[in-house]
Amino acid sequence: MRLNLSAELENAKNLSEAAGIRVRVDREAEVDAHTGELLGQVLRETTTNILRHAQAGQVRVTLTESGITIVNDGAGEGPPPELRGLATLGERVADGGGELRVEQQDGRFLTAAAFPRGRSETAPRSGKGRR
């Protein structure tokens, strides 16, 4: 049975903290279930990237009614990590009427998915959703 975004957020936090990464979560609003599913995918992919690649000490997750922003301080100076997973995710977010932004600057790595208010409700649903 699918977990909701709130439970996944807690699991991602517990997992990161087990790896010695400090996590701060700011929940400014709740999101609807459909947007929540897409934001959950962004959260899973980003947490995976942080656990795998980054030597992050601190992660900050901000959840607003229009999206999610995840910033970590472990990006380092080298080239950005392999972003194939995020590219696929970007297409899915775009299908859902949103936009995925990925930035690396000054040792910080930012992933942000934004859905303009209301649009995710009317956007056509992808037929390839999780079962």
Compute how many residues bind another protein; rule: CB under 8 A: 26
Using CA atoms, how far apart are residues 29 and 90, in angstroms rounded to an integer? 23
Q: In the complex with another protein, which residue's Cβ is closer, 69 or 124?
A: 69
Residue with tokens 């942000």: 112
Site for another protein in 50-89 (CB under 8 A): 51-52, 55, 85
Burial zone of 124 (CB within 10 Å; 0-12 exposed, 13-18 middle, 19+ buried)? exposed
The answer to whether 4 contacts another protein (rule: CB under 8 A) is yes
Site for another protein in 15-54 (CB under 8 A): 15, 18-20, 30, 43-45, 47-48, 51-52
Binding residues (CB under 8 A) for another protein: these are 1-8, 10-12, 14-15, 18-20, 30, 43-45, 47-48, 51-52, 55, 85
